[in-house]
Amino acid sequence: MRGRRRELTLAGQFLLLQLGVVALLLLIVGVISVRQSTATFESERGPAMRSVAESLAAQDFVRSTLLAAVDGEVAGPEVARLLAPPIESGLSPSDATDVLVVSLDGVVLAASDPSLVGSRADLGDSDVLQGRGWVGNVEPGASGDGERAVAGHAPVYAVVPDASGSGTRVRLVGAVLAEQTYPSIGDRLTGAAGNLALYLGLGALLGVVGTYVVSRVVKRSTRGLAPTEIANLADHREALLHSIREGVVAVGTDGRVTMMNDAARVTLGVAADPVGRHIADLGLGPHVEALLDGAGAAGTDGADAGAGEVQDAVALVGGRVVVFNRRSASSRGRGIGSVTTLRDRTELLSLQSQLSSNLSITDTLRAQTHEFDNQLHTISGLVQLGEYDEVRTLVGRITRHRSEIGAFVSARLEDPALAALMIAKDAVAVERGVELVLDPGSRLGPLPAEVSADLTTVVGNLVDNAVDACAGTADAQVEVWVTEVDGDVHVRVRDNGPGVPDELRDAIFVRGFSTKPDVLGGRGIGLPLVQLICTQRGGRVEVDRAAEEGGAEFRVVLPRGVSAAAVRQGVET
């Protein structure tokens, strides 16, 4: 607070600056006024001084006196005495400062100021001694007082007989100079405009009042803070926004990014500075763009991307699962854009993937338990009836069936986890009334532990979705084909259910989307997990309509050389 008292607020500094500008403006106005007054004085008084000089030079007495002085008939002091009356008569009504009569060699013969007689006149650029009139400035004045003056010069001609004596000729015998010194700056300002001081005062008053009003507006807008305090607030804001782990993105009403902190840039994979760029120019994809700036179709998880707010919307950005929350931003009731927070939930979704796998295993065990219960009930009934031969036959048939399935699957899938998954899923499919078929052309060797875990998650979710899709239909069947080509695991899962409409092929990979009723809030997770695992490992997943059976066909390419954990670590780095 002590530092705040010693320092002027931004409004106070603005007020001083504006006052300085007003003072400079007044100074410029004064200089222009002086120059205009000077130009007016010169344009008006120059011709007047020339008229005075020409009027005096046209008098016969002046001509004859100068002719006599040139011929030596009249001495210098006598010339000054003789010309004093006409000079005085020309000086009185003209406002001229000095009137001088000079000889052909520039010596003052007579003047309104007797002290100048005998001195040499300062003719400046005048060529009056060559017989031409002239108007202009002389500095210093011919009066010798050093003041700048406007002058008018006129040559004096006398009519004399020519050499033959039979005619006359015109002879240059001297010149008359009339000068008027420039008035002072104050006189010039007063002469330029009688109300100049009033105008300047009114201008200064309006400038001060306007400056004060602007300073009050600035003070209210800046909350009365000093510049250093504003700078500190800006520094703290930058430090806060760039230090938090959650991403923060601010977008203006024109769709351009106004702020994006470091966490958001890493999460969205934006390398260059995004501030000032349009959301559409960042290469984030239509769904992410809609979540950030509110333009587009509806989002997910109850979020409406076209509305002003988004709550817990999930989108896949690169190899990351990102949760978006957007709120509209306003200032004093006026909308200024939106602010979106981003949370990276990739690891959380990976844990959810493992949980989903565990739940799938639980469902499989439950189905097998249900199947075994039915078989045990049948055996118990046969024993009670004493049908021991039928018991042996039934047990043999069940044993052979399990052995045949295990042998068929193990011969084609050497990875134990995937083989066990397919055997377990067969029991689930049978319980749902669906035939699960492993394509005889499937071939897959042992896999690394991480690749095996990811592959079982992918296949398990695709088989579960396919069984759900075609369960309850006539001759329901799900076909699985797994093989390895050039180090990549290729998976194809097709069913003869209703299929996936073309307009929903992208939406089915969005978390929370499902075409089936969501009873316990667990729908819409499997396919996003599949896409996440494929993306993290550098693979892909595609969906199309099955050519013969109808229904849907999912195709997955999963590279086995790089683990998903390594990919996630590289993305985070």
**Alpha carbon separation from 568 to 157, 447, 481, 558, 564 (Å, rounded):** 110, 20, 28, 15, 6
Give the per-residue pLDDT at 155: 92
Can you tell me the mean pLDDT for 314-339?
Answer: 78
Give the per-residue pLDDT at 240: 65
Cα separation of 102 and 177, whole Å?
Answer: 8
Cα separation of 204 and 19, whole Å?
Answer: 9
**Segment (H or E) for 160:** strand 149-161
Q: How many CB atoms lie within 10 A of CB 404?
A: 10
Inter-axis angle of helices 564-572 and 449-470, nearest 10: 100
Give the per-residue pLDDT at 403: 67
Is residue 301 scored above 70 in pLDDT? no
Is residue 193 scored above 90 in pLDDT? no
Give the per-residue pLDDT at 1: 37
pLDDT digits (tens, 9 = 90+) for 220-242: 666 666 667 666 666 666 666 66
Is residue 478 scored above 60 in pLDDT? yes
Does the predicted model carry a pTM greater than 0.95? no
Please state, for a pLDDT cut of 70, what percent of the chain lies above it: 69
The least confident of 60-64, 88-92, 403-407, 472-476 is 403-407
Pairwise pLDDT comparison (384 vs 516), residue with the higher score = 384
Can you tell me the mean pLDDT for 418-434?
Answer: 84
**Nearest residue to 509 (alpha-carbon basis) of 315, 313, 358, 354:** 315
Give the per-residue pLDDT at 307: 47
Pairwise pLDDT comparison (76 vs 440), residue with the higher score = 440
Pairwise pLDDT comparison (7 vs 95), residue with the higher score = 95
**Alpha carbon separation from 208 to 17, 197, 215, 221, 377 (Å, rounded):** 11, 16, 10, 20, 103
Can you tell me the mean pLDDT for 31-37?
Answer: 74
Cα separation of 476 and 458, whole Å?
Answer: 21
Q: What secondary structure does DSSP assign to 43-82, as a single string?
A: HHHHHHHHHHHHHHHT-HHHHHHHHHHHHTSS-HHHHHHH
> At 482, is the pLDDT very low, low, confident or very high (cuts 50, 70, 90)?
very high
| Amino acid symbol at 276 | G
Contacts of 199 (CB under 8 A, 6+ apart): 193
Give the per-residue pLDDT at 15: 67
Question: In the CATH scheme, what architecture does the domain 13-189 have?
Answer: 2-Layer Sandwich (3.30)
Please state, for a pLDDT cut of 90, what percent of the chain lies above it: 4
> If you average pLDDT over every residue of the chain, what do you get?
75
The least confident of 293-297, 453-457, 465-469 is 293-297
> At 198, is the pLDDT very low, low, confident or very high (cuts 50, 70, 90)?
low
Beta bridge partners of 249: 260, 340
Tokens for 544, please give them.
């199309």
pLDDT digits (tens, 9 = 90+) for 505-529: 666 766 544 445 443 334 446 787 7
Pairwise pLDDT comparison (518 vs 189), residue with the higher score = 189
Give the CATH fold of the 348-572 domain: Heat Shock Protein 90 (3.30.565)
pLDDT digits (tens, 9 = 90+) for 255-284: 888 888 888 888 888 888 888 888 888 888
Give the CATH fold of the 246-344 domain: Beta-Lactamase (3.30.450)
Burial per residue of 122-135, b for 16 or more beta-carbon CB atoms within 10 angstroms, e otherwise: bbbebebbeeebbb
pLDDT digits (tens, 9 = 90+) for 99-150: 889 888 888 888 888 888 888 888 878 888 888 888 888 875 444 456 788 8
Peptide bond into 517 cis (omega under 30): no
> At 98, is the pLDDT very low, low, confident or very high (cuts 50, 70, 90)?
confident
Q: How many CB atoms lie within 10 A of CB 224?
A: 14
Give the per-residue pLDDT at 234: 66
Beta bridge partners of 103: none
Is residue 169 scored above 90 in pLDDT? no
> Domain residue spans in the chain?
13-189, 246-344, 348-572
User: How many alpha carbons fall within 13 Å on the CB side of residue 430?
Assistant: 18
Fold match flag (246-344 vs 348-572): no
Can you tell me the mean pLDDT for 340-364?
Answer: 65
Cα separation of 427 and 366, whole Å?
Answer: 10
Cα separation of 530 and 456, whole Å?
Answer: 10
Cα separation of 200 and 29, whole Å?
Answer: 8
Is residue 492 scored above 90 in pLDDT? yes
**Segment (H or E) for 383:** helix 346-385
pLDDT digits (tens, 9 = 90+) for 43-56: 888 888 888 888 88
Is residue 348 scored above 70 in pLDDT? no
